[in-house]
Amino acid sequence: MALKPIACNRMLKPLTNKSQPGFLNSKGQAALTDALYFLLIVSIICTMLFFYASNYGLTLQEKVSNQYWKEYATGALETILYSSTPRIAGHSLDSTPEVDYLLAAVKEDFAENGKIEETAEVLKQNIKGIMQPIAPGFDYMFYFYLFDAKEFAFVMLYTRDAPTLGDAGIEHGDAKIFFCNPPSLNTLEKLVEGIGASAPSNARVQFIEISESDIPGYPPAEVNLTMWIPTPLDSELLDELNCELNETIPSS
C-alpha cells in the first residue's frame, strides 16, 4: 500500500534568535539606563551627606554660641538686679554701714514719684561694669517696662559707632551710652527687629507705687536685657526713641 504525501500549506514562523544584533542593543540600553539611574541616586546621596557633614559643625557651633550668649544675658540680668549697693547715697560698699540689693533700691526710688531718677546713675554703673567683659564685641539694652501704664520707667542703650579706616588701619568707633524714653513698646521692638539676631533675657518684677491717698499700688513690670552684635544705629531711630547721650567711652 503506497503512502500518500501530506501537503503542508502552513508557513512555519522563524524562532527568535537571542543572538541577533537588535536584541543585544535593547539589552545594552536597558543595562546602561539602570546604571545611569543608580549613578544618579548615589550622586544625590553623596551630595546630601557632603552638605550635612560640612554644615554640621557650623550649625552646632551657631547653636552652642547662641545658647551661651543667652545664658550669659540671663546670668548678667540676675547679677545686675541682685548686686549690692550702699543704702546711703555717696558711700562706697566698703565704708557704708548698710547694703541692699540694687533692685530694692530701685523700687524705693520708684515708689517716691513713679520714676527711676536717684538710682539711675548707680544702675548704669552696675550694668556697665557687669557687661564690661563682652562690651567690645556686643551692644546691649536694659529697660524696665510698666505693663499697666504702658510706659518705660528706665531705658539704657549701649551702642558703638561704626569703625573707620585711618592711617593706622581700622579704628574702632567710640562706645556711647544713651538714656531713652521710647513712646511705646512697639518702637523699641522696631529697634530689636532691625538689629537682627539677639540674645534677650527678661523677668517679671513688681514695683511699689504710693498714691495721694497713701494706698500703695503694685504695678507689674518687665525687666529686660538684650545683647546683639555691634550694629551702628541710625540717628533718626535714636531720635524716635527719644534718646539722650549720657556718656561717651573712647575706643582703646
Assess if residue 52 is contained within a domain.
no
85 or 248, which is more confident: 248
Q: Which of 48-57, 103-112, 155-164, 174-183 has the lowest mean pLDDT?
A: 48-57
Residue 242 lies in a domain: yes
Question: Is 41 a residue whose pLDDT tops 50?
Answer: yes
Given this model, what pLDDT does residue 224 score?
Answer: 95
Task: Look at residue 22 in the predicted model and tell me its pLDDT.
Answer: 57
Residues 76-97, mean pLDDT to the nearest whole number: 79
Higher pLDDT, 210 or 214: 210
Do the domain assignments include residue 217? yes
Q: Is 206 within a domain? A: yes
How far is residue 120's CA from residue 247's CA, in Å, rounded to a whole number?
A: 13
pLDDT of 132-145, one tens digit each? 988 888 899 999 99
Highest mean pLDDT among 123-132, 158-167, 205-214: 123-132
> Residue 142: inside a domain, yes or no?
yes
User: Does pLDDT of 7 surpass 60?
Assistant: no
- The arithmetic mean of pLDDT across residues 122-126, rounded, is 91
> Could you tell me the pLDDT band of residue 15, with boundaries at 50, 70 and 90?
very low
Domain extent, residue 196, equals 62-249
Structural domains in the chain (count): 1
Q: With respect to residue 157, please indicate whether it lies within any of the assigned structural domains.
A: yes
Greatest Cα-to-Cα distance within the chain, rounded to the nearest angstrom: 150
Tell me whether residue 34 is in a domain.
Answer: no
Q: What is the mean pLDDT of the chain?
A: 80
Q: Is residue 42 part of a domain?
A: no
- Choose from 16-20, 71-75, 107-111, 152-156 the range with maximum mean pLDDT: 152-156
Residue 12 pLDDT exceeds 50: no
Give the per-residue SS3 of the chain.
CCCCCCCCCCCCCCCCCCCCHHHHHHHHHHHHHHHHHHHHHHHHHHHHHHHHHHHHHHHHHHHHHHHHHHHHHHHHHHHHHCCEEECCCCCCCCCCCCEEEHHHHHHHHHHHHCCCCCCHHHHHHHHHHHCHHHHHHCEEEEEEEECCCCEEEEEEEEEECCCEEECCEEECCCEEEEECCCCCHHHHHHHHHHHCCEEEEEEEEECCEECCCCCEECCEEEEEEEEECCCCCCHHHHHHCCCEEEEEECCC
220-247 tens-digit pLDDT: 999 999 999 888 888 888 899 999 999 9
- So what's the pLDDT on residue 78? 92
